[in-house]
Structure 1
Amino acid sequence: MDRTADPGLRYPTDEELLAQVLRPYRAKNCEYLKSAVVGVDSGPDGRHRVGAACTFQIPESCYIDDTGHFNSVEFNICYNQMFYYLLAKSVRESVLEPFARWTMDDFWARQLGDILITDFRSTFRRQMGARLFHGEIEMADVAEWDGSDIRDALVVIRTKCRYWDDLGGDSHGEVTVAILNPPQSGP
């Protein structure tokens, strides 16, 4: 049974969920994601596509003196925050399989230790300011494998993302994420 949301839906920023997702970043003073509107659309193949349109602010870098521009470390931190929020919202709203079968407890138990970036590619086309900028993320493909006697269960997600500012700054990337130990599939 497909328990996913209908295409065309938009979910505004859930401030409570966003605060929970960003909790691991709080002590490091790097809660950069400020808003994320999650959308569900139909792709050309008829399958659901899930993405988010986001706003970021980096008032001060959490790891280095101000470089004056958005850099690859900040790209990665912002990506992680977008991805975690998009995944959490996908679970909460049941917008995409296999996450429609997960509980929020399933997500929280896996957020840090079981979600791994396996391939990360970023391109910077034009220098961007880091103070205020926008980003988008899309889950381009989701594959799920049940465990067997020769390998553990696994979910692999291919994503696309991009960032831009109001002065023409532009960067984009493609990131593949693996989720280890996914919850057992239902009947």
Structure 2
Amino acid sequence: MELITPTTSRSVQYGCDEQLLERVLTPYKPHCRYLTAATLTRQGEPRDGGRVSARGEFTIPESCYIDDTGHFNAVEFNLCFNQLVYYLLAKSVKERTMWPFNTWTLDEYWARQLPDILIVDFRSTFRRAMRGHGFWGEIDVVGIDERDGDGGSIVLVSTLCRYGEEDMPACHGGVRLAVRTTRTKAA
């Protein structure tokens, strides 16, 4: 049974949903599934100044694309971000934690996970070397905005993220996603 813990009157924490995590990681090759556990915290609605956050535990036993560099790098940063943000969004759909994902079904999310969630801006900054064999990562959704385009509505999701070992952050970044959504037709 999943733990749901109120952390304040306006904050709710959702424990790791192992079945959901397994499904989120299905598109990844087995040796590239770095996210091992994740929790979600909701503190209000991001489009109204609130925040939805995910914290994940990761392990990278070996690089999926290069000989061992000895440190966590930008490619791994991006892969770990993708895995944790996919979990964050899927959990947001399941628990109805933030707009517009609170109107989707999980079947809609699975159909959209790869083709409709796009990184449009990506920044990463490394402050110190991190080994990457066992570490944590966090993503905060800090803003959501909707734009109309030729192909329908696009939701822009602004995030801040960071990774570290033990209590020491090692790198951080900001990633903006564009999520294609179905335009609602007026009645």
Does the pair score TM above 0.5? yes
Corresponding residue for 1:77? Answer: 79
Q: Give, as a single letter, the amino acid of the residue that structure 1 aligns with 2:50.
A: H
Q: Give, as a single letter, the amino acid of the residue that structure 2 aligns with 1:13.
A: C
Give CA deviations for 1:64-121 in whole Å, capped at 9, x if unaligned: 1111110000000000001100000000000011111111111111111111100000
Q: Retained in 2: the 8 A contact 1:101–1:185? A: no
**Pair 1:7 & 2:10 matched:** yes
Q: Give, as a single letter, the amino acid of the residue that structure 2 aligns with 1:72.
A: A
Corresponding residue for 1:58? Answer: 60
Corresponding residue for 1:3? Answer: none
Report how far residue 45 of structure 1 moved. 9.4
Corresponding residue for 1:178? Answer: 178
Q: 1:99 to 1:119 in 2, by over 3 A?
A: same
- Three-state SS of the structure 1 residue aligned to 2:40 is strand
Q: Retained in 2: the 8 A contact 1:102–1:183? A: no
Report how far residue 184 of structure 1 moved. 4.2
Which has the larger strand fraction?
2
% same residue: 49
- Three-state SS of the structure 2 residue aligned to 1:37 is strand
Report how far residue 41 of structure 1 moved. 1.1
Correspondence for 1:34 among 27, 33, 36: 36
- Three-state SS of the structure 2 residue aligned to 1:173 is strand
Report how far residue 129 of structure 1 moved. 1.0
Q: Retained in 2: the 8 A contact 1:123–1:173? A: yes
**Pair 1:68 & 2:70 matched:** yes
**If the length of structure 2 is used for normalisation, what is the TM-score?**
0.88
Q: Give, as a single letter, the amino acid of the residue that structure 1 aligns with 2:14.
A: Y
- Counterpart CA distance in 2 for 1:161 and 1:71 is 14
Report how far residue 185 of structure 1 moved. 4.1
Report how far residue 7 of structure 1 moved. 3.0
**Can you give the 5+ residue segments of structure 1 that lack an aligned partner in the other structure?**
1-5
**If the length of structure 1 is used for normalisation, what is the TM-score?**
0.88
Correspondence for 1:135 among 120, 134, 137: 137
CA RMSD of aligned residues (A): 2.3
Report how far residue 183 of structure 1 moved. 3.4
Q: Retained in 2: the 8 A contact 1:145–1:155? A: yes
| Number of residue pairs aligned between Structure 1 and Structure 2 | 179
Q: 1:169 to 1:154 in 2, by over 3 A?
A: closer
- Counterpart CA distance in 2 for 1:71 and 1:83 is 18
- Counterpart CA distance in 1 for 2:48 and 2:154 is 24
